[in-house]
Amino acid sequence: MPNQMKAAVIEAYKQPMPTLKQVPIPPLRPNDVLVRVVAASINPIDIKTKDGGLRPLLPYKLPLIMGSDFAGIVTAVGAQVHATDIGDAVYGRLQKDRIGTFAEFIAVDQGDIAPKPANLSFEEAASIPLVGLTSYQALHDIMHLRPGQKVLIQGGTGGIGSLAIQIAKHLGASVATTTTTDHFALARTLGADELIDYRTTDFSTVLHDYDAVLDTRGGKTLIDAFKIIRPGGHVVSIAGRPTARFGRAYGVPLWKRLAFGFVTRDVTKRARATHAHYTFLFMQPSGPQLDHLRELIEADVLKPVIDRIVPFDQIQDALAYAQAGHATGKIILKMTDADAVQP
């Protein structure tokens, strides 16, 4: 086993692109497994992290290895790991204080991984953890979507939207989504019932009395969600700003909670005026939920949507494409060939 690995590292916030460099392989804690990363996916949170946008919640110590979710092969296990063996194919999302999947190896708690879906390649599996957990926690855990309810999912052919539509349909909901006309066919294939071209139509003028909205845009789009939500409905945002309630649950200092409350006062006011529930979602890693998603994938209920697969040494091109914001589905980094990994 080597003691060094290649990783994508940022030395300072707002660094234009990470640098590929040799760094030590992370040590194992007793509950950890060491994974040789075969593939990792790029997510908007990676760009926000690089640019310092998450500092109010996650004051990372620099230098920092980027990357949040992955699929790979276990090469070593900690002393207290009993359900996972060397050679197992797994996928997962790292805890927010242990990110670093844009690397050849990662150390990850056994509770944050699950067996890789058997019917997916490593590249396909790497596309699932962050968007799958985010969608499931929003639609199932927070909204409690039931058959016959109506949900709007913003950006239905993006990374999160493309999986969220499928999960919402699995839960029995009727789904409206925003995308562009040239992506309508894909959105229909995913299960969307009502399609809105956001370039030509304001969704808040054509949708009414919705039970739930999953906001992936923030800003005016989030504010407009309260124009279509019914009393008692749920608006969940992954792109807005944290609320004071979130800060209290997350355990941030009082001054930060007050700041969160100030900057989200307009959203909070609109939620009260419409008698709706509003939640800022910061997804939590969960091996058990990933295993449930694996079951749905293996039953052909959920299918990944991949925009492109890029070799690890072309990560700067991949990140530039991600920052442009036009990906259909997920952008995947291929770290190595699975058949080349020797536990």
Query: What CATH code is carried by the domain that includes residue 104?
Result: 3.90.180.10
Dihedral class, residue 213 (left if φ above 0, else alpha if ψ from -120 to 50, else beta) = beta
**β-pair partners for 92:** 70, 113
- 123 shares its domain with 184: no
Q: For the whole model, what pTM was predicted?
A: 0.94
Highest mean pLDDT among 198-207, 242-251, 256-265: 198-207
- 144 shares its domain with 17: no
Is the pLDDT at 343 greater than 80? The verdict is: no
- 158 shares its domain with 146: yes
Q: Phi, psi at residue 204, to the nearest 5°?
A: -70, -10
Residue pair 177/192 in contact by the 8 Å Cβ criterion? yes
Triad 160, 164, 168: Cα angle to 5°? 170
Q: How far apart are CA 40 and CA 52, in angstroms?
A: 21
Residue span of the structural domain in which 43 resides = 4-128+304-340
Q: Give the pLDDT score at 252.
A: 83
- 78 shares its domain with 140: no
**β-pair partners for 22:** 6
Residue pair 131/159 in contact by the 8 Å Cβ criterion? yes
Q: Give the pLDDT score at 59.
A: 82
CA neighbours closer than 13 Å in the CB half-sphere of residue 193: 13
Using the Cα atoms of residue 166, residue 167, residue 171 and residue 177 in order, give the sign of their dihedral: negative
Q: How far apart are CA 165 and CA 142, in angstroms?
A: 16
Find the range with the poorest average confidence among 157-166, 246-255, 292-301: 246-255
Q: Which of 126, 197, 135 is nearest to 166 (CA)?
A: 135
Is the pLDDT at 142 greater than 60? The verdict is: yes
Is the pLDDT at 81 greater than 80? The verdict is: yes
Domain count, the chain: 2
- What residues contact 225, with CB distance under 8 A and at least 6 apart? 152, 204, 213, 215, 235, 237
- 115 shares its domain with 175: no
pLDDT tens for 257-286 read 898 899 899 999 999 999 999 999 999 999
